[in-house]
């Protein structure tokens, strides 16, 4: 079949790869000049298979409200909030307090995470992609005794799902991360043994090149303006290459992987995708002293900042901000990220000279991504991966490709069904 994938972020590219491996003719349409240039560009780099969770939880709401009132707290809301932001927050609250929903979604996302590790292994075995990838584990630091108590509770779910972990004492943390010499408070850590890291942008570009070498067509610098459909099927997409006139591209099947812009393309179909662009920031710096840097990926629960080793660089990311598509990078946010790095890994890199970036997590109000058949016969959705698109892309691409081929996927897609927001 000829399949058009809309979007060449990490989700679109892995989808193209999964479809190409199953023998389909694939065309990817991307408005940017290359793959992985939007949200997949400079994220935290964690492949956190054991730490994927829905953000709509009553416990999270309780924590988040005080964060909103802190001057440099990790959660920010642009005032006055837009109608979209308010709608999104109300929908999140509805899911957070719906009985049983958080537990079901958490388990569904963790199963997807575990499966993603397997799917990544397959890709990495087949292709020697160079993306500073590693599987050295992930550390969640506890900067208070209460955080450590919470990790002991989390460990019960991990044990139930067979996810490998260790609860570490402060001495064991320093042994596992000898570069962590800073004065930040430390009461121990939860280590996810099989989680990994990697540069999502380099991976997207490398995998896109492998797809192209295999015969997949990439139409870069080309925006999809609309899906052309009747009540049953999509017949084509109206596309506009930069500086040229509109064209219509026909195909048998269409997959929507346009990240935060996915809702704009389903509006005329009567399908409301409540994906909101949740902003975050990152700083990437070349290491000046590798022995003082993280060896893997570290979540500092004090500043809510993640620091990740990517080859000879380190990247630190933070903030969850509801501000629409505002691309400004206030110095104040970067200062908090720098303070976190200084308090844990002083002397590892010159963070003052780091490259700053902002991106938008394509977040659903409940948390799980949207994976499955759309409202029309030949339209499929693989989008809305929020905070975990890099981690989950390999599994969600495999599952959507199986569904398109008419096979029963190895995991239930119930928690990810596109129609759940209007039920």
Ligand X SMILES: Cc1cc2nc3c(=O)[nH]c(=O)nc-3n(C[C@H](O)[C@H](O)[C@H](O)COP(=O)(O)OP(=O)(O)OC[C@H]3O[C@@H](n4cnc5c(N)ncnc54)[C@H](O)[C@@H]3O)c2cc1C
Rounded least distance, CB 259 to ligand X, Å: 3
Length of the chain measured in residues? 423
Quick one: 31 or 292, whose CB is closer to ligand X? 31
Rounded least distance, CB 11 to ligand X, Å: 3
Rounded least distance, CB 57 to ligand X, Å: 18
Dihedral sign from CA coordinates of 334, 144, 75, 262: positive
The terminus-to-terminus CA distance of the chain in angstroms comes to 32
Quick one: 206 or 389, whose CB is closer to ligand X? 389
Long-range CB contact pairs, 242-246, < 8 A, 24+: none
Rounded least distance, CB 257 to ligand X, Å: 6
Question: What gap in Å lies between CA 168 and CA 191, rounded to an integer?
Answer: 7
Q: What DSSP element (H or E) covers 266?
A: helix 262-266
Quick one: 177 or 261, whose CB is closer to ligand X? 261
Rounded least distance, CB 100 to ligand X, Å: 26
Question: What gap in Å lies between CA 416 and CA 384, rounded to an integer?
Answer: 10
Rounded least distance, CB 371 to ligand X, Å: 11
Quick one: 292 or 385, whose CB is closer to ligand X? 385
Quick one: 44 or 211, whose CB is closer to ligand X? 44
- CA 128 to chain CA centroid, nearest Å: 23
Quick one: 308 or 378, whose CB is closer to ligand X? 308
Quick one: 233 or 240, whose CB is closer to ligand X? 240
CB 222 within 8 A of CB 241: yes
Rounded least distance, CB 1 to ligand X, Å: 21
Rounded least distance, CB 165 to ligand X, Å: 18
Instruction: Using alpha carbons, select from 420, 123, 168 the residue that is nearest to residue 296.
Output: 168
Quick one: 142 or 208, whose CB is closer to ligand X? 208
Question: What gap in Å lies between CA 14 and CA 340, rounded to an integer?
Answer: 33
**Omega before residue 80 within 30° of 0, cis:** yes
CA torsion 57→63→68→72, rounded to 10°?
Answer: -130
Quick one: 154 or 222, whose CB is closer to ligand X? 222
Rounded least distance, CB 183 to ligand X, Å: 25
Under the rule (CB under 6 A), what is the footprint of ligand X? 6-12, 29-32, 37-40, 43-46, 48, 200, 223-224, 257-259, 261, 265, 280, 282, 317, 359-362, 383, 385-391
Instruction: Using alpha carbons, select from 315, 294, 327 the residue that is nearest to residue 199.
Output: 315
Contact residues for 86 (Cβ-Cβ < 8 A; gap 6+): none
What one-character-per-residue DSSP string does 180-220 give? --S----SEEEEETT-EE--HHHHHHHHHHHHHHTT-EEE-
Question: What gap in Å lies between CA 309 and CA 199, rounded to an integer?
Answer: 10
């Amino acid at each position: 079949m000829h399949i058009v994938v809309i979007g060449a972020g990490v989700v679109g590219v892995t989808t193209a790869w999964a479809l190409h491996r199953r023998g389909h003719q694939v065309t990817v349409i991307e408005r940017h000049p290359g793959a992985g240039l939007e949200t997949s560009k400079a994220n935290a780099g964690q492949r956190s298979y054991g730490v994927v969770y829905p953000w709509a939880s009553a416990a999270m709401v309780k924590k988040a409200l005080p964060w909103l009132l802190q001057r440099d707290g990790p959660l920010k809301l642009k005032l006055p909030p837009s109608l979209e932001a308010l709608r999104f927050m109300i929908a999140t609250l509805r899911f957070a307090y719906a009985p049983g929903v958080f537990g079901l979604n958490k388990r569904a996302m963790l199963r997807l995470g575990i499966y993603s590790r397997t799917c990544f292994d397959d890709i990495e075995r087949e292709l020697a992609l160079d993306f500073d990838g590693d599987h050295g584990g992930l550390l969640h630091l506890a900067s208070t005794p209460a955080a450590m108590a919470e990790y002991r509770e989390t460990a019960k779910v991990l044990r139930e799902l067979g996810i490998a972990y260790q609860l570490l004492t402060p001495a064991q943390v320093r042994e596992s991360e000898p570069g962590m010499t800073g004065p930040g408070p430390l009461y121990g850590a939860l280590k996810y043994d099989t989680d990994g890291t990697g540069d999502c942008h380099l991976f997207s570009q490398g995998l896109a090149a492998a797809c192209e070498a295999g015969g997949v067509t990439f139409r870069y610098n080309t925006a999809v303006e609309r899906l052309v459909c009747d009540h049953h099927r999509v017949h084509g997409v109206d596309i506009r290459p930069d500086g040229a006139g509109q064209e219509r591209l026909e195909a048998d099947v269409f997959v929507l992987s346009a990240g935060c812009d996915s809702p704009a393309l389903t509006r005329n179909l009567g399908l409301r995708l409540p994906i909101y662009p949740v902003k975050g920031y990152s700083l990437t710096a070349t290491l000046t002293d590798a022995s003082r840097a993280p060896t893997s990926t570290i979540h500092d629960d004090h500043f809510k900042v993640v620091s990740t080793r990517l080859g000879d660089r380190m990247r630190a990311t933070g903030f969850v901000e509801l501000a629409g598509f505002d691309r400004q990078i206030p110095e104040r946010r970067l200062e908090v990220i720098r303070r976190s790095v200084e308090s844990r890994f002083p002397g590892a890199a010159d963070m003052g000279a780091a490259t700053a970036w902002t991106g938008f997590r394509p977040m659903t109000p409940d948390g799980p991504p949207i994976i499955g058949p759309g409202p029309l016969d030949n339209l499929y959705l693989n989008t809305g991966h929020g905070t975990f698109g890099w981690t989950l892309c390999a599994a969600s691409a495999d599952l959507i490709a199986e569904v398109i081929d008419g096979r029963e996927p190895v995991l239930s897609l119930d928690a990810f069904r596109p129609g759940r927001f209007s039920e």
